[in-house]
Amino acid sequence: MLKSLSISVAALAVCATGAVSAQNIFGDPNSGTVVLEAGFPDDPHTVELVSGGSINAEEAIGNCSGYISEDPDVRLTFTRDETHDALPLFISVRADGDTTLVINAPDGNWYCNDDGQGEGVNPSVVFGPAQSGDYEIWVGSFEEGEFIDAQLDISELGGQ
């Protein structure tokens, strides 16, 4: 399982690029802030939101896809601890349309995904092991002008 998890982490953490001028990582999140500590009981923790925006993620960030908003959709403040130190953090989206995922992680790098592990159109990114700090999360729509009801899932036990 750990070997396949390592492969998944490498395959899903697609993009780690420099500064982005169009994103406001300090903006007020469209769908709120989530504060979780390692071992959180409501796993997966879910947030209802609407994907999309007017910013082309590929032009703004590079190696990303979809259209996202200026401010993040969700800010996740995550704290890991020694007991759960090796657990990964799965961030994924479930929706009936084609969504994308853009994350600015606590290390300052950007991570992007379009179609998860190639099974459908729901994106996911795995951080293993998880980092403590703020994750700024955008859920984009693959098509410009499309806004899709979606569910963001945050889990230590597994993705979609």
| Per-residue pLDDT tens digits for 30-79 | 999 999 999 999 999 999 999 999 999 999 998 899 999 999 999 999 99
Residue 106 domain flag = yes
Residue 36 domain flag = yes
Q: How confident is the model at residue 160 (pLDDT cuts 50, 70, 90)?
A: low
Residue 120 domain flag = yes
Residue 1 CB neighbour total at 10 angstroms: 5
Q: What local confidence, expressed as pLDDT, does residue 2 receive? A: 38
Cα–Cα distance between 115 and 100 in angstroms, integer? Answer: 7
Kindly report the pTM of this predicted structure: 0.85
Residue 34 domain flag = yes
Residue 160 domain flag = no
Residue 123 domain flag = yes
Give how many domains the chain has, as a whole number: 1
Residue 66 domain boundaries: 2-155
Q: How confident is the model at residue 83 (pLDDT cuts 50, 70, 90)?
A: confident
Cα–Cα distance between 19 and 72 in angstroms, integer? Answer: 15
Q: What local confidence, expressed as pLDDT, does residue 36 receive? A: 97
Residue 146 domain flag = yes
Cα–Cα distance between 144 and 100 in angstroms, integer? Answer: 12
Residue that has been written with the tokens 């982005």 in this structure = 20
